[in-house]
Structure 1
Amino acid sequence: MKKLVLVIVMTVFGLANLFSQEIQFGAKGGLNLASIRGDNSGDFESVTSFNFGIMSEIPISEKFSFQPELMYSGQGYSIEDTTIKLNYLNMPLMGKYYVIKGLSLEAGPQMGFLLSAKNEDTDIKDSLNTVDLGVNFGIGYKLDNGLNFGLRYNLGLSDINDLEGVTNKNQNGVFQLSVGYFFF
C-alpha cells in the first residue's frame, strides 16, 4: 500500500512538472464534521476533527484546473458516549471550474487509506476496510495573494466494515471547511 501511495504521488506531482511555470503548490488545513451513514446508523452522532495536507493546482485552461491533494483526515462517529476515531490519508483528485475570478466549483474522486482506528483505547483497525473510495463536491475561493478557502463534502462509496458475518453496510460522510495558502 505504501508503494501504491508513493507511485500515485510521484505520478501526479511528476505530471505537474509539465506545467511547472504555472503550477502552484500549497498547504491547507481545517475542520471536519464527520459521520457514518448507512444501515442502522440512526443513533450515530457526528464528531469534529481536523484535516491538513499539501496540494497543487495545475491550470488546464482559463476556467478549468486540476488540483491533486495529499491530506490527513480525522473522521469517525460517536454512539452512546463512545467515540470511534478513524484516521485516513486521503488523496483527492479535484477538478476545479472557475465560475468567476477566484470562485470555483469542485468535484472529483478520492482514495483514502485507513491509518488507524480506535474505539476509545482499543485498536479496531482489523475490523475495518483499509481502503476507502469516495467522491468530493465543493466550492472554493482563491485570493490573488494565494490565500484560499474551501467547503467540501466527501461522500464515501466504500463499505467501511470488514468483519465476517457483519451485514451492515456503512460509509463515511465528511463535511470539510479549510483554509489554505499557495506558496508559489
Structure 2
Amino acid sequence: MKKVFFIAVLTVFGVTATQAQEVRLGAKGGLNFSSFSGDGFDAFDDPEGRTSFHIGAFAEIPLSERFSIQPEVLYSGQGFDLISREGADDTEVQLDYINVPVMAKVYIVEGLYAEAGPQIGFNVKSEIDSDPDDEGSGDIAIDEDIINDVDFSVGVGAGYQFNNGLFLNARYNFGLSDVFNNEDLLIDSDAKNSVFAVSAGYSF
C-alpha cells in the first residue's frame, strides 16, 4: 500500500517540477455516494448505496487562460449496501481505493469550470461491514483474489473556483473495469464502480 501511495504522489507532483511557478497546488475532501453499475448484483444493491468520504491533494497545471490539466491523488471510500434493513444497521461492502484521476478542466466563465478525464484506482481495503456505525465492529475481510487490484474509470464534473482559493466541485465517476475477478467469484458479474462525489477544497 505504501509503495502504491508513493507512486501515485510522484505521478501527481513530479510533473510540476519544471513549471512550479505556474502550478497551483491544493487539497480537497468530501463525500462519496457509491454503488455498483452493471449486472449480477442488482438484487442486493440498495439504491442509496454506500456513503463514505474522499480526501487528497492535487496540482492544477495551466496550459492556457481557460484550459488546464489537474492530476490528483485521493483516498476514496467506495462500495455499496449489500443489505438495507429498516430499523437496523445496513450491511456494506466496503472497497477503498487510492485513486489517481487526471482531469482536463475548461473554464467556461470566470470561476466556473467543467472537467473530464480518466482515473486509475488501486484497491487498498476490501471487507464486509455489518455495523458501519461502529468502527472496527462487524468487519469481515473479503478474499483479496476476488477483488481486482486495479480499477479504471472516467470522471465528469463541474465546479466553481472562488478568488480566495476556495472551491466547490461535483463529479461522477463511472467504472470501465470489473470490480470482481469472475474467475474466483461463484457468480458471473460485470459489476463496476459508480461514484458521485461532492468536494470542497483550497488551492494556492
Same fold (TM over 0.5): yes
Decide which moves more: 66-75 or 7-16. 7-16
State the partner residue of 1:25.
25
State the partner residue of 2:98.
89
Number of residue equivalences: 183
**Would you tell me which structure has more strand in proportion to its own residues?**
1
Question: What's the TM-score, normalizing by structure 1?
Answer: 0.93
State the partner residue of 2:125.
116
In structure 1, what is the Cα distance between the partners aligned to 2:94 and 2:4?
Answer: 24
Q: What amino acid does structure 1 have at the position aligned with 2:74?
A: M
State the partner residue of 2:52.
49
**Residues 68 and 30 of structure 1, relative CA distance in 2, 3 Å threshold:** same
Residues 1:136 and 2:139 are matched in the alignment: no
1:22: how far off? 1.7
State the partner residue of 1:73.
76
Deviations 1:79-122 (Å, cap 9, x if unpaired)? 22321111110001011000011111100000000010111221
**Residues 53 and 145 of structure 1, relative CA distance in 2, 3 Å threshold:** same
In structure 2, what is the Cα distance between the partners aligned to 1:169 and 1:41?
Answer: 9
1:21: how far off? 1.2
In structure 1, what is the Cα distance between the partners aligned to 2:195 and 2:123?
Answer: 15
Query: Percent of counterpart pairs with the same letter?
Result: 45
In structure 2, what is the Cα distance between the partners aligned to 1:58 and 1:132?
Answer: 25
1:8: how far off? 5.0
Mind listing any 5+ residue stretches in structure 2 that lack a counterpart? 85-90, 130-138
1:15: how far off? 2.0
Q: CA RMSD in A?
A: 1.6
